[in-house]
Amino acid sequence: MVRFHERTFPGETKEYRQQRDQLLEAEIALRKQLEEVARRRRVLPRGGAVPESYIFEEGAADLAD
């Protein structure tokens, strides 16, 4: 496990710090995964043409509304 910094909270235990560091590792991994998914989405080829016109059945008819 990586220690991310030397600063500690007043009265924090070793167990608390270990769990906080594990949480931070998980958050960093999640961020990297989200960035990878976003990258993959950006490089997708264009999808097929919409076969017919359609109208949304919910919400305002005009986006300006």
Write out pLDDT tens, residues 22-57.
Answer: 999 999 999 999 999 999 999 999 988 888 887 778
| Nearest CA among 28, 4, 29 for reference residue 17 | 4
The SS3 call for residue 40 is helix
**Average pLDDT for 5-21:** 87
Nearest to 1 by CA among 27, 28, 22: 22
Residue type, 47: G
Q: For the stretch 2-30, what's the b/e string if a residue is b when 16 or more beta carbons lie within 10 angstroms of its beta carbon?
A: eeeeeeeeeeeeeeeeeeeeeeeeeeeee
pTM for the model: 0.62
